[in-house]
Amino acid sequence: MASVKEMRTRIASVKSTQKITKALQMVAAAKLRRAQAQAEAARPYARRMASVIANLAKSVSGPSAPLLLAGTGKDQRHLIVVAASDRGLAGGINSNVVRAARERIASLIAQGKDVRILTIGRKARDGLRRQFASRFVENYELGLKSPNFELVQPIAQQIIDLYLAGEIDVVTLFYSRFKSVISQVPTSKQLIPAVVDAADEGASPDLKGGVYSYEPGEEEILKTLLPRNIAIQLLAAVLENQAGFFAAQMAAMDSATRNAGDLINALTIQMNRTRQAQITKELIEIISGAEAL
C-alpha cells in the first residue's frame, strides 16, 4: 500500500492536471462561440452558391457543359479529401471522421478503384498514413490560424489541377458537421463532378412571362463559379470542423475535470484511512510497550 506521502504527491499531481483540463475547457468554450458563429454564417453562402449553380446547370448540358460539372464520364480514379483538426484532446471527433473516410477508401479499393488521399489537419494525416501512406497526395495543416478563403484556396487549386490534368475522376470531401455542442456528425460531400440537387434550386421567382438573360452566357458563368464553389465548400467544411472540434474539446475537458475531482476525493479518503491506520498502529505499539514495562 502506498504511503501517506506518496498519496499526497499523487493528489497534488491530479490537482495540477485538473487545473489544466479546466483551463482547456474554458479556452475551448470561449473559442467555440466565435467558431460556431463563423460556421453558421458560412452555411447560407454555401447553400446560395449551390442554388445558383443548380439554376444555371439546368440550361447547360452536353459538350458545352464545363468539365467540373459534366465530369470525365469515368468513375475509376477517386480523390478522398479528409478534413480534421491539427490537435487532439477532443474526444472522438477526429477518429470518427477518419473512420468514415477509411471505410470509404477500403470500399473503393475493394471495387478495384484507384484511390488517392489529400488530408487537411494533422490528425487526418496521422489517422490514415499508416494504412494508406502510398496513396497520399498532400497534407495541409492550418495550425492556429482562423480558417479563411486565402487558406483553402491553394487546396482547392491543387484539387482542380489534378482533375484538369486527368489524374482523378471523382472528388469526395469528408468532414465533421457541427450539429450542436454535443453532436458532430461525420459527413461526406461530392465536390467533383458538382452534384446538382433539385433541392438546391430553391423557389423560382415569378417573372410574369419574362425570362432570364445571362451576360455572359451560362457556360462562362459556370466556368467561373464552379472552381470558386470548391473553395467555398472546403471553407465551409473547415469552419464546421473547427466549431465541432471546440465543442468536442469543451465536452471532453469538462468530463476530464469532473473525473479528476472524483479521483481526488477517492484518493483523499484512501489517504485519510491510511493515515488513521498508521496512527492506530503507532498507538498500539506504544500501549504494548508500556504494558511490557
pLDDT of residue 207: 44
pLDDT of residue 40: 83
Residues of the chain scoring pLDDT < 70: 1, 57-65, 67, 70, 144-145, 196-219, 293
Sequence-distant (6+) residues with CB within 8 A of 288 are none
CA distance 44 to 221: 20
Q: Are 114 and 208 in contact (CB under 8 A)?
A: no
Look up residue 22 and give its amino acid: K
All structural domains of the chain with their residue ranges: 4-21+256-292, 36-199+214-252
**Among 70, 105, 100, which Cα is nearest to 83's?**
100
Q: In sequence order, what DSSP letters do the residues of 31-91 get, joined into one string?
A: HHHHHHHHHHHHHHHHHHHHHHHHHHHTT--GGGS-HHHH--S--SEEEEEEE--S---ST
pLDDT of residue 85: 84
Domain 36-199+214-252 CATH assignment equals 3.20.190.10: no
pLDDT of residue 206: 47
pLDDT of residue 205: 47
CA distance 260 to 269: 14
Q: Is 195 helix (H, G, I), strand (E, B) or coil?
A: coil
pTM for the predicted model, two decimal places? 0.77
pLDDT of residue 201: 46
Within a 10 A sphere around the Cβ of 121, how many other Cβ atoms?
Answer: 27
